[in-house]
Amino acid sequence: MFVRRVARRNRQAMPDMSEALIGVLRQSPTRASPLRGESSSPVPVDGDSRLPLLTIVHQGADAEQPILAEEVMRSLQQIVDERGASERLAAADLSPARTVLFVGPPGVGKTMAATWIAARLSLPLVILDLATVMSSLLGKTGTNLRHAIDYAKQRPCVLLLDELDAIAKRRDDDRDVGELKRLVTVLLQQIDDWPAGAGLVIGATNHAELLDPAVWRRFDVSVGFPLPGPDQRRDAILRFAAEPLPVSVIELALTASKGQSYNDIERVTMQLRRRSVLDNVPLEDLMLKHWGQVVQGLPRAERLQVATTLAEAGTLSQRQISSMTGVSRDTIRGFAQEKSTTSR
């Protein structure tokens, strides 16, 4: 509307521009504006709350690639590649994977990977959060599920069934087992009926073990998303810090962040970056302090381990490592000597 107004107002003063704008408006709503298709059939809503059952994400081709271990990334790439090679696959009597299950703890990039895949396939990502659907009245859930999935079926998209375990979890605190069984059946039918040539269904869950084996088996491929290893943590620290850091700081941060998710590391780093701007203090100082404190809070056995890792990395002096980990310099020197004799 705004562009049209600009075009009209300037018809006299700038006829060429005005004409060009009108031209763009005539063309664009058909293909270039993906929103148009959706406005013709509104996103389904919960009958009672009127809250939308689906979230639709249009991600440009520049969707950020998640940092992932090589084998995980390879699985994701294959999903994308298969879609691009459906004819070759068909010639061999095969079809691209239709349904994929992502399994892993919170904050390791399952949703992000689904967004990335959708972007690579130039498809919108339609997210059905099962935790939200399950919180509606049980009797309504089946209807809601069916409406939501039907909606996704009608357009090329990647459908993300987020928090699949919500269905399983509900079973613990609900008496109505029969109704839940019916729900699982609805879900399975919907997955089974998913048209082969259409989009892709991605299920995401934190607890594969909670899922009904019947649901599990429905997925063509299952991809495990582990917590980040040291290499991925290093990449994550650098990406989130968005500035070069001394090797010693990176080494400390990646050692101290063992067991944390990408999301944990991101939140801490962003907070430190904000602090760095507020106080006008270099980020590396704040990182050294933060991750140093994390190490201090660890039990002695783990501090010993951190000290060894840092000593092996060889980027901090033994004195620095000692003051950071509370492990005596003698002990650290012992490690270093042991290390050098064994490697000799």
Q: Which of residues 204-263 bind ligand ATP (CB under 6 A)?
A: 206, 262-263
- Give which of ligand ATP, Mg ion, none residue 66 binds (C-beta under 5 to 8 Å, depending on kind): ligand ATP
Q: Does 179 bind ligand ATP (CB under 6 A)?
A: no
Shortest-Cβ-distance residue relative to Mg ion? 111
What does the binding site for Mg ion look like in residue numbers (CB under 5 A)?
Answer: 110-111
Among 44, 96, 107, 199, binds ligand ATP (CB under 6 A): 107
How many other C-beta atoms are found inside a 10 Å radius of the C-beta of residue 318? 19
Residue placing its CB nearer to Mg ion in the complex, 89 or 131: 131
Q: Does 203 bind ligand ATP (CB under 6 A)?
A: no
Q: Does 109 bind ligand ATP (CB under 6 A)?
A: yes
Q: Which is nearest to 47 in space by CA: 170, 193, 155, 148? A: 148
Shortest-Cβ-distance residue relative to ligand ATP? 109
- Give which of ligand ATP, Mg ion, none residue 203 binds (C-beta under 5 to 8 Å, depending on kind): none
Residue placing its CB nearer to ligand ATP in the complex, 48 or 64: 64
| Residue 81 CB, nearest approach to ligand ATP (Å) | 20
Q: Which is nearest to 230 in space by CA: 106, 66, 64, 69? A: 69
Residue placing its CB nearer to Mg ion in the complex, 124 or 203: 203
Residues of this chain that interact with ligand ATP (CB under 6 A) are 66-68, 104, 106-112, 206, 262-263, 266
